[in-house]
């Protein structure tokens, strides 16, 4: 009997239902995937098109910033004081140079590198990013540029960079006024980032470090431009797409008179000292010289450590701007101010006379304060107290006034505070008072302290700029200005004068007191250096002790060290009837003020006031 066959029964309805479910699921998945694909395509082509286009262009287009040309600096007559000169430097990109030492050895055959230069390069490479250019030689000569250009194919990763660098044609003459520019360091970068100005320095390597260059950096620097270049996948430039030129910095004109500045430097002849000249009609600085000085061009390309150390350790301190940072006892140059205080406070009158036997004593005190004239001046009034520089008159005056009245009266003349001049390098000096001594030394104020201050000695110190500025107020009979160096800006082809900062005037209860003091200063000039001058001048000299001499000791210039000798000072202005120039001269350790500083003041006033007359006679 044959085996029975199994019969399989198919449920066609169930199978059809299962197929439909599977087909529907597959269809939904396909639709969902197509939806995701279409959504992504939409995002790529529509929603994020601009972003991806920019990314593509970033790979294709390179933006190269271009540095602006720095603004030029001129004196009041249009004489160039700071310019930009073309320069060439040798640059190295570390990642493109396989063996730096070998490359430098080979390079030495056509462009010599000193041992110090090579050591400096190795030191900089330790902290330098390998893809950024590093300057290995500055100030290449045209011959060196030509030699390297011919052989450049032998030095991959090394190239010549051309640009403009600051140059100061008058070298040390203007250093302490103009300052200088130098390479941007980490501190400069932090300051720029904090102020939001760093983006303007993308292509700039230098920044103002001192003086006018630093104070007016925002005007002189300008705004950078940029090049848009199309490059291939290897970074090679195919073409330039767009050029946006940089905006050059503004040219500025200073109040300085170059000829007067040159004359002052010539007269100082390398001696330690300073000259400040101010136009009393607007507060503009006509001359500001500090001696000795140094060549600022050395800092523009990067001064060597050895050269900087030599300047820093120089005993004559050439890095200090003596005109604004030098602090000296003003000595007798402030006697006109003190006499004015006495008149205004009614401690003395125009006719008050004081007996000068050659010394003065505090009542009940044995110590004697000596006059510079051993046998004294006899009877002295306010005019003779200034023209003869009688110490006894002022000892007596400040003893009666006290330090409080004196300090308060001197404050509006600018002693012990910043003048507000437009450079950052300025000291405020010291106008001593009870509170000042308590804060400084934690000691009370003594009457003897007042006596010393009464002749511009003791704790009282002033800068030459402060002295000159205070005499401007005397010459103007109370009218005051903030001393300034900026005269005008150049906008296109038009010069725009900057506004004058006129301060509230000093108003006296008796305005005639101005006339008394100025007449006394006129008499002082008439009796000495300006007797034969073609103009009428007013002046006051001063001889400031650098160290104290005991009352029974004698000052002997021939037996003391040079740095302990007296400082010589003079303040002067002219013409007396309508002043156009005010001077302050300080010579360190030069001795007697009238004999040593006086001739400089006369020569400078002659230069400024008689220049046109001299030119006509020529």
Q: How far apart are CA 330 and CA 570, in angstroms?
A: 9
What is the band of 125 on the pLDDT scale with cuts at 50, 70, 90? confident
Question: CB 271: neighbour CB atoms within 10 A?
Answer: 15
| Homologous superfamily (CATH) for 63-254 | Penicillin-binding protein 2a (Domain 2) (3.90.1310.10)
Instruction: Assess whether pLDDT exceeds 80 at residue 335.
Output: yes
- The chain-wide mean pLDDT, for the chain, equals 87
User: DSSP readout, 396-428?
Assistant: HHHHHHHHHHHHHHHGGGTTTS----SSS----
Q: What contacts 189, CB < 8 A, 6 or more positions away?
A: 198
- Is 377 labelled as part of a ligand binding site? yes
Averaged over 466-472, what is the pLDDT? 97
Instruction: Assess whether pLDDT exceeds 50 at residue 520.
Output: yes
Instruction: Assess whether pLDDT exceeds 80 at residue 71.
Output: yes
What is the band of 479 on the pLDDT scale with cuts at 50, 70, 90? very high
Averaged over 206-231, what is the pLDDT? 88
Beta strands 73-74; 251-254: pairing state:
parallel
Q: What pLDDT shows up at residue 293?
A: 95
Q: How far apart are CA 270 and CA 266, in angstroms?
A: 8
Integer-rounded Cα radius of gyration of the chain: 38
Degrees to nearest 5, angle at CA 193 with 124 and 217:
90
Residue 460 sits at φ, ψ, to 5 deg, of -70, 125
What CA–CA distances, in Å, run from 238 to 62, 128, 317, 410, 575?
Answer: 11, 29, 55, 71, 69
Tokens of 155: 């030095």
Q: What pLDDT shows up at residue 87?
A: 85
Reference 333, options 591, 584, 600, 577; nearest CA is: 584
Reference 291, options 314, 307, 309; nearest CA is: 314
Kindly state the DSSP code that residue 43 receives in the 8-state scheme. Answer: I
CATH architecture of 258-617: 3-Layer(aba) Sandwich (3.40)
* Residue from 332, 385, 401, 462 carrying the catalytic annotation: 332
Q: How far apart are CA 5 and CA 368, in angstroms?
A: 151
Most confident of 131-145, 259-273, 590-604: 259-273
Q: What pLDDT shows up at residue 547?
A: 52
Averaged over 532-558, what is the pLDDT? 73
Q: Which of 113-117, 444-448, 596-600 has the lowest mean pLDDT?
A: 113-117
Reference 481, options 424, 427, 422, 536; nearest CA is: 422
Q: Is 332 designated active site? A: yes
Same fold, 63-254 and 258-617: no
Kindly state the DSSP code that residue 333 receives in the 8-state scheme. Answer: G
Averaged over 535-543, what is the pLDDT? 94
Q: How far apart are CA 582 and CA 285, in angstroms?
A: 10
Kindly state the DSSP code that residue 208 receives in the 8-state scheme. Answer: E
Q: How far apart are CA 562 and CA 73, in angstroms?
A: 38
What is the band of 2 on the pLDDT scale with cuts at 50, 70, 90? low
Most confident of 122-126, 188-192, 234-238, 450-454: 450-454
Q: What contacts 325, CB < 8 A, 6 or more positions away?
A: 425, 426, 427, 463
Residue with tokens 């007191």: 513
Q: How far apart are CA 351 and CA 19, in angstroms?
A: 131
Whole-number percent of the chain with pLDDT over 90: 56
What is the band of 18 on the pLDDT scale with cuts at 50, 70, 90? confident
Higher pLDDT among residues 446 and 529, named by residue: 446
Q: What contacts 60, CB < 8 A, 6 or more positions away?
A: 230, 231
Instruction: Assess whether pLDDT exceeds 90 at residue 517.
Output: yes
Q: What pLDDT shows up at residue 378?
A: 93
Q: Which of 42-51, 199-208, 603-612 has the lowest mean pLDDT?
A: 42-51
Instruction: Assess whether pLDDT exceeds 90 at residue 159.
Output: no
What is the band of 113 on the pLDDT scale with cuts at 50, 70, 90? confident
Residue 450 sits at φ, ψ, to 5 deg, of -65, -40
Averaged over 232-261, what is the pLDDT? 82
What CA–CA distances, in Å, run from 188 to 65, 191, 207?
Answer: 19, 5, 8
User: Partners of 573 in the beta sheet?
Assistant: 538, 582
What CA–CA distances, in Å, run from 378 to 128, 358, 372, 526?
Answer: 76, 8, 13, 21
Reference 81, options 209, 208, 167, 183; nearest CA is: 167
Tokens of 219: 């005007």
Residue 164 sits at φ, ψ, to 5 deg, of -115, 140
Q: How far apart are CA 166 and CA 80, in angstroms?
A: 12
Q: How far apart are CA 566 and CA 508, in angstroms?
A: 34
Reference 354, options 309, 418, 389, 397; nearest CA is: 397
Q: What pLDDT shows up at residue 616?
A: 42
Q: Computed from CA positions of residues 71, 183, 258, 219, in that sequence, does the dihedral angle turn out positive or negative?
A: positive
Q: How does 196-209 read in b/e, with b if 16+ C-beta sit within 10 Å?
A: eeeebbeebebbbb
Q: Are 264 and 287 in contact (CB under 8 A)?
A: yes
Interval 407-441: pLDDT, tens:
999 999 999 999 999 999 999 999 999 999 999 99
Q: What pLDDT shows up at residue 615?
A: 46
Q: Which of 25-34, 171-180, 591-600, 607-616 has the lowest mean pLDDT?
A: 607-616
What is the band of 555 on the pLDDT scale with cuts at 50, 70, 90? very low
- Is 116 labelled as part of a ligand binding site? no
Q: What pLDDT shows up at residue 511?
A: 96
Residue 308: strand, helix, or coil:
helix
Q: Which of 101-115, 201-215, 285-299 has the lowest mean pLDDT?
A: 101-115
What DSSP element (H or E) covers 360? strand 359-360
Reference 277, options 119, 412, 467, 62; nearest CA is: 467
Reference 221, options 200, 249, 193, 245; nearest CA is: 249
Residue 58 sits at φ, ψ, to 5 deg, of -65, -35
Q: For residue 530, count CB atoms less than 10 angstroms from its CB and return exposed for 0-12, middle for 13-18, buried for 19 or more.
A: buried
Q: What is the pTM of this model?
A: 0.82
Kindly state the DSSP code that residue 243 receives in the 8-state scheme. Answer: E
Domain ranges of the chain: 63-254, 258-617
What is the band of 570 on the pLDDT scale with cuts at 50, 70, 90? very high
144 alpha carbon, distance to own chain's centre: 35
Instruction: Assess whether pLDDT exceeds 60 at residue 11.
Output: yes
Q: Are 416 and 381 in contact (CB under 8 A)?
A: no
Kindly state the DSSP code that residue 281 receives in the 8-state scheme. Answer: T
Instruction: Assess whether pLDDT exceeds 60 at residue 552.
Output: no
Instruction: Assess whether pLDDT exceeds 70 at residue 209.
Output: yes
Residue 462: strand, helix, or coil:
strand
Instruction: Assess whether pLDDT exceeds 60 at residue 614.
Output: no
Higher pLDDT among residues 561 and 40, named by residue: 40
Averaged over 218-247, what is the pLDDT? 77
Degrees to nearest 5, angle at CA 147 with 142 and 151:
145
Tokens of 508: 């006296």
- Is 29 labelled as part of a ligand binding site? no
Q: What pLDDT shows up at residue 332?
A: 94
Interval 378-411: pLDDT, tens:
999 999 999 999 999 999 999 999 999 999 999 9
Interval 79-110: pLDDT, tens:
999 999 888 888 888 878 888 888 888 888 88
Reference 332, options 391, 373, 415, 402; nearest CA is: 391
Interval 38-62: pLDDT, tens:
888 877 777 777 666 655 555 667 6
Averaged over 221-229, what is the pLDDT? 83
Higher pLDDT among residues 246 and 522, named by residue: 522
Tokens of 473: 């107020």
Averaged over 142-163, what is the pLDDT? 84
22 alpha carbon, distance to own chain's centre: 85
């Amino acid at each position: 009997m044959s085996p029975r066959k199994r019969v399989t029964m198919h449920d066609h309805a169930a199978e059809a239902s299962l197929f439909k479910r599977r087909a529907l699921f597959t269809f939904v998945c396909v639709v969902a995937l197509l939806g995701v694909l279409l959504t992504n395509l939409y995002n790529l082509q529509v929603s994020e098109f601009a972003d991806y286009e920019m990314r593509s262009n970033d790979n294709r287009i390179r933006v190269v910033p271009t540095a602006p040309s720095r603004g030029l600096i001129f004196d009041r007559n249009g004489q160039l004081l700071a310019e930009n000169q073309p320069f060439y430097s040798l640059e190295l990109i570390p990642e493109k140079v396989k063996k730096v030492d070998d490359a430098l050895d080979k390079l030495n055959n056509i462009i010599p590198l000193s041992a110090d230069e090579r050591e400096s390069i190795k030191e900089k490479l330790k902290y330098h990013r390998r893809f950024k250019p590093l300057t290995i030689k500055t100030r290449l000569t045209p011959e060196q540029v030509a030699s390297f250009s011919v052989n450049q194919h032998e030095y991959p990763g090394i190239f010549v960079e051309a640009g403009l660098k600051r140059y100061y044609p008058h070298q040390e003459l203007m250093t302490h006024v103009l300052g200088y520019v130098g390479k941007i360091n980490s501190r400069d970068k932090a300051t720029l980032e904090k102020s939001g100005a760093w983006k303007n320095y993308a292509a700039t390597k230098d920044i103002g470090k001192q003086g006018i260059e630093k104070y007016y950096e925002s005007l002189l620097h300008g705004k950078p431009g940029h090049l848009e270049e199309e490059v291939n996948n290897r970074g090679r430039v195919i073409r330039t797409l767009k050029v946006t030129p940089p905006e050059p910095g503004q040219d500025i004109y200073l109040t300085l008179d170059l000829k007067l500045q040159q004359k002052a430097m010539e007269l100082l002849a390398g001696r330690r000292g300073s000259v400040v000249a101010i136009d009393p009609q607007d507060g503009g600085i006509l001359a500001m010289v500090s001696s000795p000085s140094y060549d600022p061009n050395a800092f523009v390309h990067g001064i060597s450590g050895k050269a900087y150390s030599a300047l820093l350790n120089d005993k004559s301190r050439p890095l200090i701007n003596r005109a604004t940072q030098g602090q000296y006892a003003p000595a007798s140059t402030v006697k006109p101010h003190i006499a004015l205080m006495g008149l205004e406070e009614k401690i003395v009158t125009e006719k008050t006379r004081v007996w000068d036997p050659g010394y003065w004593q505090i009542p009940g005190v044995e110590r004697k304060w000596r006059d510079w004239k051993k046998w004294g001046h006899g009877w002295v009034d306010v005019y003779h107290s200034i023209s003869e520089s009688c110490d006894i008159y002022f000892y007596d005056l400040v003893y009666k006034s006290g330090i409080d009245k004196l300090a308060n009266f001197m404050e509006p003349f600018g002693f012990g505070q910043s003048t507000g001049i437009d450079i950052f390098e300025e000291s405020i000096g010291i106008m001593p008072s009870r509170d000042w001594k308590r804060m400084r030394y934690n000691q009370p104020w003594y009457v003897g302290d007042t006596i010393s201050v009464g002749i511009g000695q003791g704790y009282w110190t002033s800068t030459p700029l402060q002295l000159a500025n205070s005499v401007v107020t005397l010459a103007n009979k109370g009218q005051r200005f903030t001393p300034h160096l900026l005269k005008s800006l150049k906008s296109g082809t038009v010069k725009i004068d900057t506004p004058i900062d006129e301060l509230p005037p000093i108003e006296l209860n008796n305005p005639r007191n101005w006339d008394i003091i100025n007449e006394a200063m006129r008499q002082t000039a008439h009796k000495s250096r300006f007797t034969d001058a073609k103009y009428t001048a007013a002046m006051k000299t001063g001889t400031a002790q650098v160290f104290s001499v005991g009352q029974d000791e004698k000052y002997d210039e021939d037996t003391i060290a040079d740095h302990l000798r007296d400082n010589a000072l003079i303040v002067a202005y002219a013409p007396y009837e309508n002043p156009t120039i005010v001077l302050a001269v300080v010579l360190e350790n030069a001795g007697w003020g009238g004999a040593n500083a006086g001739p400089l003041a006369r020569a400078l006033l002659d230069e400024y006031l008689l220049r046109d007359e001299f030119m006509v006679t020529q």
